[in-house]
Amino acid sequence: MQLLMIFSLLGMTALFVFTAFRLNEPEAQPVRVKKNQR
């Protein structure tokens, strides 16, 4: 059970860091993001 909890926490933190890094990237091409949102 402890291993499962540790793996889940690691996955959540990794996902959060990855998403934050992608959002904070200056070369993320905001035009494409705007087109996808509409």
What is the reported pTM? 0.50
d(CA 21, CA 10): 16
pLDDT at site 24: 77
Domain positions in the chain are: 1-25
d(CA 9, CA 31): 33
Each residue's pLDDT expressed in tens, for the chain with a length of 38 residues: 899 999 999 999 999 999 988 887 766 565 655 666 65
d(CA 4, CA 1): 5
Q: Tell me whether residue 22 is exposed, middle or buried, using C-beta atoms within 10 angstroms of its C-beta: 0 to 12, 13 to 18, 19 or more.
A: exposed
